[in-house]
Chains A and B, each alone.
Chain A
Amino acid sequence: MKHAYLTALILIAVILIIGVGSQLLGIRLYDRIATNLLISLVLVVGLQTFMGNSGLLSFAHIGFMGLGAYTSAVLTIPAQMKGMALPDLYDFMKVVEVSPLVAMLAAGILAAVVAAVVAYPLMRLSDAASVITSFALLVVLYTIMNNWSAFTNGPRTLFGLPKTTDMPIAAIVAAIVVVVALLFKESRTGKLLRASREDEVAAAALGANIPHLRWRAFILAAFIAGIGGALWGHFITSFAPKAFYLKETFLIVTMLVIGGANTVTGAVAGTVLITIAYEGLRSTEGAINATSFGAGQVIGLTEIVLALAMIAVMILKPGGLFPNREIGHIITRARRKKETTA
């Protein structure tokens, strides 16, 4: 258990370094990238709580992020702006205006409730069937966001969210989420769930109610995704449903998988690594586009490189960078080994 504290300390230190470092450099762009990174961290760690512990791939995560972002938007857009931003909104909702913090919690809770209802039958499925249904769930959530104009302004961009997310807030939420993920991993539910990940039959024979365990993890993941969505919404302040679809899903799955889905450390490492790579590739892409006059836009290069990286990681190191031990565990083991040899 002691190494779990060490892990928490190290990961929070990483978050602090990212936050403080980006401020010390004093470049606005870095501040933006750091905030973005911390929000991605919330989402990736949220996905880790389900995927890492249950071993099931879930594609629906970004859908819940979208749910959170729209919930928070509907609750916080100032009443006098609602007529413009959401012309079809139901009358009783038009007067609602709560503080972003309350809205963020509401976003998380709503995402969790929706997840609880939808996922209850789905958690009985394993392997491919569960992946496919989670993929279909993402499509359904996207369809709803794209068409329920009253709440989401349809496929058009929704604007007017107050900009309340800044770097410190994102850092605080990210730190809390990391601690929650570690606590969940070490909790009874988390341990049983990890046992079912390693051997479904053996865990069930020992009396683990696997669908129920998975269900709990899924709800927690959706809650964190909802919070992350609200956080992102108040950072970016205007967005359309297509922000919550395959491209984003690909990105956070890449982050988690390259880092190592089974550990929170992996989730953090993957997020940091991929964010840096992504921003680097993006600016290269931008530079190419700026120099090649009229030769056509270069798009998709970033995704191609990331996809190749992902396939390479899967071939060489299928567990990711941190396949099964948290950073704290690795350090304690290394130290103990040194003590015994000395």
Chain B
Amino acid sequence: MAFAIQFVIDVLSLGGAYALMALGLVIIYGILRLVNFAYGELIMVAGYTMFLTSGSGLPWIIMAVLAVVMAIVFGIITDYAAFRPVRAKSVTAVLITSFAFSNLLQNAALLFISPRPRNVPLPEIFSETVSIGGAITPVRNLITIAASIVLLAAVAFLMRKTTLGIAMRAAATNFTMARMLGVPANLIISSAFALSGFLAGVVGILWIGRIGTVVPGVGMEPLLIAFIATVIGGMRSLPGAVVGGFLLALIDTTLNYSLSQDLLKFRDAFTFSLVIVILLWRPEGLIKGPASGQRT
């Protein structure tokens, strides 16, 4: 029983984090049909903001809010620097600019901060553990679950009930038509980047809370997770991203428990093989998004 609870909590906390990461990526992809390679660097930005403010004596929660704000700011900067100038050009051009921008941010962190890991301030509660039904779990896993439930609900509400969300979904379905009906294109795209940055910031705090330190390459793993989760779930569907995130967490956790130490090193390779199988079965991902319209 204790094992079952442990397993469920692990899957839910990991899955919640994965789902949020995937969601941040899909929001951009759904509207612009463009992959944001610099997404992982938003998580890095959140981490370094925490590190840079750690000496200021501010309460932790303020630092966390600042980190999220910085992630949002950098999300919007990504739009202006890497996407807006080349948006109307080829898909490859935009992929490359976002890849270049990601490299730019990473190397800026190398140059101006340090290649070595930096400690991030964390409140006491992140390192405490509790016992639920005999299973000992770190509190941060429960925080992750709670945060992901709240955020997923908030994003669902935003997308379904608010004008902004409806405009975003309209833009994702048929961009040209949405513009003709008076949806301001640039505003919608910038808000999508802001929302993406917000999710990245929150995930960044939760994710870095697991590791405790930040390095310039910290965004790499979340980026890859978000990629795989979105490909599994369906590149253009928001619920698909969430399903993909939880499924990937289930696969990862199962492999964590079932593989021997020698094979565990190759976990990523196993995960990826499963992704290939899923893609063979359903090349569009598990959940099909809205019919694709023209970009810009």
Partners in one complex: yes
Interface of A toward B, CB cutoff 8 Å: 55, 57, 118, 121-122, 124-125, 127-129, 131-133, 135-137, 139-140, 143-144, 147, 246, 250, 253-254, 257, 261, 298-301, 303-304, 306-308, 310-311, 314-315, 318
CB pair A143–B269 under 8 Å, yes or no, is yes
Given contacts A133-B231, A147-B266, contact A261 B111 (CB under 8 A): no
Most buried by B among A261, A310, A311: A311
Q: How far is the CB of A251 from chain B (nearest CB, A)?
A: 10
Given contacts A299-B110, A303-B103, A304-B107, contact A57 B95 (CB under 8 A): yes
Q: How far is the CB of B185 from chain A (nearest CB, A)?
A: 19
Q: Does B288 contact A (CB under 8 A)?
A: no
CB pair A315–B85 under 8 Å, yes or no, is yes
Q: Does B279 contact A (CB under 8 A)?
A: yes
Q: Does B90 contact A (CB under 8 A)?
A: yes
In the complex, what residue of chain A is closest to B230 when comparing beta carbons?
A132
CB pair B231–A132 under 8 Å, yes or no, is yes
- What residues on B are CB-neighbors of A131 within 8 Å? 35, 95
CB pair A311–B97 under 8 Å, yes or no, is yes
- What residues on A are CB-neighbors of B82 within 8 Å? 311
Most buried by B among A121, A127, A307: A307
In the complex, what residue of chain B is closest to A142 when comparing beta carbons?
B268
Return the contact of A144 from the options B99, B227, B269 (Cβ within 8 A): B269
CB pair A128–B33 under 8 Å, yes or no, is yes
CB pair B235–A129 under 8 Å, yes or no, is yes
CB pair A314–B97 under 8 Å, yes or no, is yes
Q: How far is the CB of B287 from chain A (nearest CB, A)?
A: 14
CB pair A137–B272 under 8 Å, yes or no, is yes
Prevailing SS type, chain B contact patch: helix
CB pair B276–A121 under 8 Å, yes or no, is yes
Q: Does B93 contact A (CB under 8 A)?
A: yes
Given contacts A122-B276, A147-B265, A300-B110, contact A311 B35 (CB under 8 A): no
Q: How far is the CB of A244 from chain B (nearest CB, A)?
A: 15
Q: List 15 A-B contacts (CB under 8 A).
A: A121-B276, A122-B276, A127-B33, A128-B91, A129-B235, A129-B283, A132-B35, A132-B228, A136-B224, A303-B104, A303-B107, A304-B104, A306-B103, A310-B96, A314-B85
Give the number of chain B interface residues (Cβ < 8 Å): 46
CA distance A219 to B33 in the complex (A): 28
- What residues on B are CB-neighbors of A300 within 8 Å? 106-108, 110-111
Q: A136-B227, A136-B228, A300-B108 are in contact. List 18 more A-B contacts (CB 8 A).
A: A57-B96, A129-B285, A132-B35, A133-B275, A133-B279, A135-B227, A143-B266, A143-B268, A299-B107, A300-B106, A303-B103, A304-B104, A306-B100, A307-B103, A307-B107, A311-B97, A311-B101, A315-B86
CB pair B283–A257 under 8 Å, yes or no, is no
Q: Does B280 contact A (CB under 8 A)?
A: yes
Q: How far is the CB of B229 from chain A (nearest CB, A)?
A: 10
CA distance A307 to B82 in the complex (A): 11
In the complex, what residue of chain B is closest to A147 when comparing beta carbons?
B265
CB pair B104–A308 under 8 Å, yes or no, is yes
- What residues on A are CB-neighbors of B111 within 8 Å? 298-301, 304
CB pair A314–B107 under 8 Å, yes or no, is no
Q: Does B132 contact A (CB under 8 A)?
A: no
In the complex, what residue of chain B is closest to A254 when comparing beta carbons?
B100
Q: How far is the CB of B162 from chain A (nearest CB, A)?
A: 27
Q: How far is the CB of A302 from chain B (nearest CB, A)?
A: 8
Q: Does B8 contact A (CB under 8 A)?
A: no
Q: Does B210 contact A (CB under 8 A)?
A: no
Most buried by A among B99, B101, B266: B99
CB pair A314–B29 under 8 Å, yes or no, is no
Q: How far is the CB of B138 from chain A (nearest CB, A)?
A: 26
- What residues on B are CB-neighbors of A261 within 8 Å? 92
Most buried by A among B96, B224, B228, B230: B96
Shortest beta-carbon contacts, A-B, top 8 = A300-B107, A300-B110, A307-B104, A147-B265, A310-B100, A303-B107, A300-B111, A307-B100
Q: Does B160 contact A (CB under 8 A)?
A: no
**How would residues 180 to 191 of chain B score, 1 for a CB under 8 Å from any chain A CB and 0 otherwise?**
000000000000
Q: Does B290 contact A (CB under 8 A)?
A: no
Given contacts A143-B266, A307-B101, A311-B97, contact A132 B227 (CB under 8 A): yes
CB pair A121–B231 under 8 Å, yes or no, is no
CA distance A148 to B93 in the complex (A): 36
CB pair A136–B272 under 8 Å, yes or no, is yes
- CB interface residues, B 260-290, toward A, < 8 Å: 265-266, 268-269, 272, 275-276, 279-280, 283, 285
CA distance A301 to B85 in the complex (A): 24
Most buried by A among B90, B227, B285: B227
**How would residues 225 to 237 of chain B score, 1 for a CB under 8 Å from any chain A CB and 0 otherwise?**
0011011000100
- What residues on B are CB-neighbors of A246 within 8 Å? 103, 220
CA distance A125 to B92 in the complex (A): 15
Return the contact of A299 from the options B29, B95, B97, B115 (Cβ within 8 A): B115
CA distance A304 to B280 in the complex (A): 39
CB pair A318–B89 under 8 Å, yes or no, is yes
